[in-house]
Structure 1
Amino acid sequence: MTHAHWLTIPELLRLPAQTYEWRVDIEFPDLATLTPVQGIVTATHRHTYLELRAGVQTIVTLCCDRCLQYYNYRLECTTTELIWLAETPASQPDDDLVETLPATGRLDLADWLYQQLCLALPYPKYCDPNCAGIHPPTPAEPPIDYRWAALAQLQSALERSEPSP
């Protein structure tokens, strides 16, 4: 990721209301967007944890999982995540599902936001809820094997020349 937007956790304690607000206007190289990601990300120090909030939007280009056509999708991401602040690596919670950071560390808000946007992408991706998917083209007439065309003409001529009973 080339767009780092670092937040140092001890500096967050010195800000008014211990809150940092980032007015987002960024493009991520690994996310196919038509418009920059815009909105607000806030980080608030809550003594034992960080509270991260995002309210951002963009327009992404997706490929339909059914018909394989590309379409534009308005991606809106409104999320909150709590990150536990550990005094030492040994004081981290035992739960593997809890996100932790050292209390004296730093956080890349751009990377966090990128991850949130990826999680907000629709799955499965359908250009339309009623998308019928890929259909092979149906021929208007049965295919003609031109190798047998002369025989078909002869058979047709014989059928016309036969006397009727």
Structure 2
Amino acid sequence: MAEHHWLFIPDLLRLPDHTYEWQVSAQWPEFATLTPVQGVVSVSHRQTYLEVSANVVTIITLCCDRCLQYYNHRLVCTTTELIWLADTAAVPDANVVDDLVESLPATGRIDLVDWLYQQLCLALPHPQYCDPQCGGIMPPATGEAITDHRWAALAQLQSALERSDPPS
């Protein structure tokens, strides 16, 4: 990543409500967007785990999986992740443990740019359709000029099959 936004985890304990808020307005070469990623990333120290949340938005250009046309998509990322602090001796509440999948050292750092990049990648739509009703690439009608060169090979094959004799 071109830019990092490191946060030293023990510093959170000195902040009001043990919470740090990052006002995001950034673009990164690794995640090409039409507008800057804008919003808020919040990190709260909860003694045995971190609660990291994002509420950001941007506009990104995607390629439709059906018709291969490019289209602009408003990408909204509203998410929360709980990150276990591995060096803590206390056992977290059973309801919290089920949601924890990541861990960091309690005296370590977290790169908020990298975390946000991962969340934005996870928020991308799959599959990517320019429109739910998109019909995909349509073959040209019979007798119509082929404007998409990808169909030319199919048209040649179809023509060759029509000229060949059917098997007896």
TM-score range with shorter-chain normalisation? 0.7 to 0.9
- Find out whether 1:98 has 2:86 as its counterpart: no
- Find out whether 1:132 has 2:135 as its counterpart: yes
Cross-structure match for 1:34: 34
Structure 1 CA distance, aligned partners of 2:117 and 2:42? 15
**Cα shift at 1:33:** 0.7
**Cα shift at 1:98:** 1.6
Structure 2 CA distance, aligned partners of 1:141 and 1:17? 68
- Find out whether 1:107 has 2:110 as its counterpart: yes
Within-5 A mapping of 1:54-133: 54-87=54-87, 98-133=101-136
* Runs (5+) with no aligned partner, structure 1: 143-165
Deviates more, 1:73-82 or 1:29-38: 29-38
SS of residue matched to 1:111: helix
SS of residue matched to 1:29: coil
**Cα shift at 1:28:** 1.9
Give 4+ residue runs of structure 1 displaced > 3 Å after superposition.
139-142
TM-score by length of 1: 0.78
Corresponding letter in the other structure for 1:8: F
Deviations 1:72-131 (A, max 9, x none): 00000000000000117xx9xxx9x72000000000001000000000000000000010
**Cα shift at 1:32:** 2.2
SS of residue matched to 2:14: coil
Within-5 A mapping of 1:139-158: 139-140=142-143
- Matched-pair identity in %: 71
TM-score by length of 2: 0.77
**Cα shift at 1:141:** 6.3
C-alpha RMSD of matched pairs (Å): 2.0
Cross-structure match for 1:11: 11
Q: Number of aligned residue pairs: give it.
A: 137
* Runs (5+) with no aligned partner, structure 2: 92-97, 146-168
Structure 2 CA distance, aligned partners of 1:132 and 1:79? 32
Highest Rg: 1 or 2?
1
